[in-house]
Amino acid sequence: MNKISRNEYEQAGINISKIKAVMPNLGNITDEMIGSESGAVASFCDLLQVALDKNQKIIINGQRQYDNRNDAFIVKLLNHSMAIPAQIQLQDKTLKFKIDSRSAKVDELTKQGFSLDEIDKICPVIRDEEIALVEQKKEELKSDISAIEAFCSDAPEFRISLLPEHLAELGKLN
């Protein structure tokens, strides 16, 4: 069975609605009304029925895919996603604590008469690289949220390829 994408699933639903809206009215049209004696109306009705059957099969297969989804994996992803805002906040607070802590130490050491060079040796300056690493980690966490949202919105297919490798690995863990 081929995987049914979200777009295929949604389009099949739209197609079914449109076909079902047209079919009842075709019974009122005869070949004579359209100037044909070749069974054109019946052929067209048969064609619509084939299209209806094809689209209904897509819906059935898409629903089967959805029913067979890995709920445990999806729950792990959603739990991970819900923990991310707290992780981002922790990154911010940890960096702020380091900055505030160093500032307080610098003030105290300055009052004690230490020079700036001595102070920098006792409590090193927080480097731009360290701040950049925190920002990078926060962006990675935000990216995880976006990837999880994309994956969960991809029903009924749920393509693992939408997830970065470290999130896809959650499905392999017990």
The pLDDT of residue 173 is 59
State the Cα angle at 18 between 15 and 19, rounded to 5°. 85
Is residue 58 scored above 60 in pLDDT?
yes
- pLDDT (mean) for 79-83: 96
Q: Letter for the amino acid at 71?
A: D
Lowest-pLDDT range of 29-33, 47-51, 73-77: 29-33
Give burial (CB, 10 Å; 0-12/13-18/19+) of 100: exposed
| pTM for this entry | 0.75
* Separation between Cα atoms, residue 11 and residue 58, nearest integer Å: 10
In this predicted model, what pLDDT tens digit does every residue of 4-18 receive, in sequence order? 999 999 999 999 999
Kindly report the backbone phi and psi dihedral angles of residue 162, in degrees, each rounded to the nearest multiple of 5, phi listed first.
-75, -10
Continuous segment of H or E residues that includes residue 36: none
